[in-house]
Amino acid sequence: MEAIQQKVVQDKIDQLSDKEVYVHLETTNGAYASHFDESAYNVGAFIRNAKVKYQHGKIVSTGGSYRVGLKLDLGWVYAEGVTDFEIDEKNRLLMAGHDREGRLMVALEISETPFSYEADPDE
């Protein structure tokens, strides 16, 4: 992955709008929080292969990171804190936010084909 290039990401978001796509959205502070502080509250969310069709999407700078929002017919999907992206060999838009130590905090991925169900070394 590389640092967000806002125009490249926006162009890819635009290319995928008004199509049925699969979304992977994940947030976590995982074991990171309790590893350093036993009283810390762990939080996380995970959804994989949610089939959606978004009207339009937008990536905006939040000062040091980015927010990506996808406008659905009846609501929104969004991820905050995105710092890095990749358009992989399967033409999927993969975005992630990492903390200062490089640990994953948020991921938003959009694909025209489903993501694998098991761990895939190519993903």
Q: Give domain limits for the chain.
A: 1-36+53-60
Query: 43-52, 78-87, 113-122: which range is least confident on average?
Result: 113-122
Q: Could you tell me what percent of the chain has a pLDDT over 70?
A: 85
H/E run at residue 43: none
Highest mean pLDDT (candidates 40-44, 59-63, 115-119): 59-63
Q: How far apart are alpha carbons 9 and 85 in whole angstroms?
A: 8
At residue 64, the pLDDT reads 87
Q: Tell me the whole-structure pTM to 2 decimals.
A: 0.85
Query: 46-50, 51-55, 115-119: which range is least confident on average?
Result: 115-119
